[in-house]
Amino acid sequence: MRIILVIFGSASGYFIAEQILGNNLSSIIGLISGFLISIVAIIFEERVKRTPIRIVIGGAIGLITGLIVSNLISYPIVTKFIENNVLEILIYALINCLLGYIGLSIGMKKGDEFDWHNILALSSSKQSAGIVKILDTSAIIDGRIADITDAGFIEGEIIVPQFVLQELQHIADSQDAIKRVRGKRGLDVLQRLQKQANTKVAIIDNDFLQIKEVDAKLVALGKEMNARIVTNDSNLNKIAELQGVSVLNINHLANILKPVVLPGEVMNIFVLKEGKEDGQGIGYLDDGTMVVVDNAKRFLGKNMDVVVTSILQTTGGRMIFSRLKDDARSDLH
């Protein structure tokens, strides 16, 4: 293909020069010029392949602008003041090359500096009413993402990369029974997401072969697409935020949405098991929050009214400390 391009360019230069100037010397000059232009085009093609798309777009805009300006300047000069055909071609070529090169250089420079991610994000928000979300394996297996999207709390396109799908498949095929159940649950959650009418789920082939770890690939993809990562993994959360990638942590959302409990409030708790301290009983709220009840060991397997004494917020969630309501009354008396 490149050989054909060189032959065609050389031949075109030869015949164009022959038609305009009509002598052998000019035809040979045209042939050489066509050949050189073809070689430059091939070199330019190789450089474009290795150049980021933002620079290519900026350079193309700058080149087109430069050529338009050059023709607006050169046309009146050539038509009014130049009568020699050779000089006319030289002036046209000189002005076009000069302004075209200046436009190309400025365009490439500004294209590299320009914040294309914001433009793409704005376009994406208009098309899909939200920023793209990338699901990681932990969020898929957890399953709550399907309830969140079904309720309409997450808008925009949801992306599942092939490397995440492969990791999920690997877990589903594991020899470990627990991992196998988790993997199959994740595949079921994906099917549920795809069936939701108000959720657009896309599986993409974008991959980073030079990166081995799935978490690192997710962060790189988040940067490339200016997307948010949806996860339950606290380590991935920290790594992504350190590298400037936004994260939606489902566990964080769940903690925020837990009902507010204040000291002195009364609640009914089923005492499920013994606590670590002597005489303690343990129960749980509907959202999974642990409630430690003093002197409740003797009421295992029963529902008891308890009074909240304090709340402890930990990295793993919230813990509520309480005492039996009857004990609180006796203290008052």
- 55 and 168 in one domain? no
Angle at 210 between CA 206 and CA 217, to 5 degrees: 50
Q: Which is more confidently placed, 155 or 8? A: 155
- 178 and 207 in one domain? yes
Q: What CATH number does residue 152 fall under?
A: 3.40.50.1010
- 185 and 248 in one domain? yes
Q: Which is more confidently placed, 96 or 241? A: 241
Paired strand residues for 322: 293, 308
Non-local (6+) Cβ contacts of 318 within 8 A are 255, 258, 289, 290, 311, 312
Q: What pLDDT does residue 125 have?
A: 45
Q: What CATH number does residue 309 fall under?
A: 2.40.50.140
Q: Which is more confidently placed, 240 or 57? A: 240
Q: What pLDDT does residue 129 have?
A: 47
Q: What pLDDT does residue 292 have?
A: 93
Q: What pLDDT does residue 192 have?
A: 92
pTM as predicted: 0.50
Give me the mean pLDDT over the 14-29 stretch: 60
- Report the number of secondary-structure helices (H) and strands (E) in the chain: 13, 11
Q: What pLDDT does residue 230 have?
A: 94
Q: What pLDDT does residue 119 have?
A: 52
Give percent above pLDDT 90 in the chain: 32
Most confident of 84-98, 99-113, 114-128, 167-181: 167-181
Q: How confident is the model at residue 24 (pLDDT cuts 50, 70, 90)?
A: low
Neighbours of 69 (CB within 10 A): 16
Q: Which two tokens stand for residue 8?
A: 């065609």
- 140 and 33 in one domain? no
- 150 and 106 in one domain? no
Q: What pLDDT does residue 124 have?
A: 47
Q: Which is more confidently placed, 329 or 66? A: 66
pLDDT per residue as tens digits for the range 275-310 = 888 889 999 987 778 899 998 988 999 999 999 999
256, 289, 323 - which closes a domain? 256
- 134 and 37 in one domain? no
Token match 């010029």: residue? 33
116, 151, 176 - which closes a domain? 116
- 126 and 44 in one domain? no
Q: How confident is the model at residue 105 (pLDDT cuts 50, 70, 90)?
A: confident
Average pLDDT across the chain, whole number = 80
Residue 73 CA to its chain's centroid (Å): 44
- 128 and 31 in one domain? no
Q: Which of 15-29, 118-132, 247-261 has the lowest mean pLDDT?
A: 118-132
Q: What pLDDT does residue 56 have?
A: 73
Strand bridging mode 303-314 / 266-270: antiparallel
Q: How many separate domains does the chain show?
A: 3
- 327 and 264 in one domain? yes
Give me the mean pLDDT over the 245-262 stretch: 84
Q: Which is more confidently placed, 202 or 79? A: 202
Paired strand residues for 282: 273, 292
Q: Annotate 94-158 with DSSP letters as a single string.
A: HHHHHHHHHHHHHHHHHHHHS-HHHHHHHHHHHHHSS--EEE-HHHHHH-HHHHHHHTT-S-SEE
- 53 and 155 in one domain? no
Per DSSP, 288 falls in state -
pLDDT per residue as tens digits for the range 153-184 = 887 789 999 999 999 999 999 999 999 999 99
Most confident of 18-27, 40-49, 126-135, 173-182: 173-182
Q: State which residues form the domain around 296.
A: 260-332
Q: What pLDDT does residue 14 have?
A: 60
CA–CA separation, 184 and 173 (whole Å): 9
| Enclosing H/E stretch for 83 | none
CA–CA separation, 91 and 80 (whole Å): 13
- 53 and 180 in one domain? no
Q: What pLDDT does residue 321 have?
A: 93
> What strands lie across the sheet with 133-135, from one edge to the other?
200-204, 157-161, 133-135, 228-231, 247-249
- 251 and 150 in one domain? yes
pLDDT per residue as tens digits for the range 170-224 = 999 999 999 999 999 999 999 999 998 888 889 998 888 889 899 999 999 999 8
220, 237, 256 - which closes a domain? 256
Q: How confident is the model at residue 122 (pLDDT cuts 50, 70, 90)?
A: very low
- Coil, strand or helix: which one is 202? strand
Give me the mean pLDDT over the 105-112 stretch: 76
